[in-house]
Chains A and B, each alone.
Chain A
């Protein structure tokens, strides 16, 4: 079975500060890794995904994530956040061959001026 752990339920940061949202996963099979963002009263939007190849993945809105196989981590980073980045962020995995996202519990990013 697969599981995803997002240790931080809430991360407060000031505008223009860097941020890292942590994600660890466990799986007995190969997985694809994703980060989604959910703005209030909206569905989920894909930020970035790791399928294979370079372990550093760049996504939309200036976000990037690094896949670390030995630590089974896929942390999300942004060098300088904006107020508009305030949202809930979900890390997720899909086992290879399935179409079933397994989500972490989410991290609420709160950006203040």
Chain B
């Protein structure tokens, strides 16, 4: 069974631009969560989607948005990029979104904002 895939793996953007990151969960998984990892703030929860609906949201500004498609693939969008948005963005999937089920993580997309 293929794991969680994220594209692209690396991305370089300039301030003010927008970016879209993609996450394909493990086949059959319906819940996708997104996390931001930075040296200063560590790992922080962005949002979670289940069956195309956002169920949980972290404390990030509205510039961060996401969506989930009917095949459970998810995209995350960041508009008006700031230098502080440079981070590793991880997505994780689980089959039913239950708290006790393991979240399987992708390798991440490393975003650099210049």
Interface residues of A (CB under 8 A from B): 32, 36, 41-46, 49, 51, 90, 92, 94-106
Tell me the count of chain B residues lying within 8 A, CB to CB, of chain A.
27
Q: In the assembly, what is the distance between CA of A104 and CA of B41, in Å?
A: 10
The answer to whether B102 and A96 touch across the interface, beta carbons within 8 angstroms, is no
B106 and A43 contacting across the interface, CB-CB below 8 Å: yes
Q: Is B25 an interface residue (CB 8 A)?
A: no
User: Which candidate, B62-70, B76-84, B93-101, is the interface stretch facing chain A?
Assistant: B93-101
How many residue pairs link A and B with beta carbons under 8 A? The number is 63
B58 on the A face (CB < 8 A): yes
Determine the distance from Cα of A26 to Cα of B64 in the docked complex, in whole angstroms: 28
Cβ-defined contact, A46 with B45, below 8 A: no
Asked, given contacts A43-B90, A44-B90, A106-B42, whether A101 binds B106 with beta carbons under 8 Å apart, the answer is no
Distance of A104 Cα from B97 Cα, bound (Å): 21
Given A44-B90, A99-B48, A99-B50, A94 and B99 contact (CB-CB distance below 8 Å): yes
CA distance A106 to B100 in the complex (A): 21
B100: chain A residues within 8 A (beta carbon): 32, 49, 51, 94
B18 within 8 A of A: no
The answer on a CB contact under 8 Å between A96 and B108 is no
Smallest CB–CB gap between B88 and chain A, Å?
Answer: 9
Q: Which residues of B contact A51 (CB under 8 A)?
A: 100
CA distance A42 to B109 in the complex (A): 10
B42→A101 contact, CB < 8 A: no
**Cβ–Cβ < 8 Å partners of A45 in chain B:** 105
Residue of A nearest to B50 (CB): A99
**Nearest 10 interchain pairs by C-beta:** A43-B105, A103-B43, A44-B105, A94-B99, A105-B42, A43-B107, A51-B100, A100-B45, A99-B97, A99-B48
Of B90, B99, B108, most buried by chain A (CB within 10 Å of CB) is B99
Of the listed residues B43, B45, B50, B107, the one surrounded by the most CB atoms of chain A closer than 10 A to its CB is B43
Which residues of B from 28 to 78 have beta carbons under 8 Å from A?
A: 31, 33, 35, 42-45, 48, 50, 55-56, 58
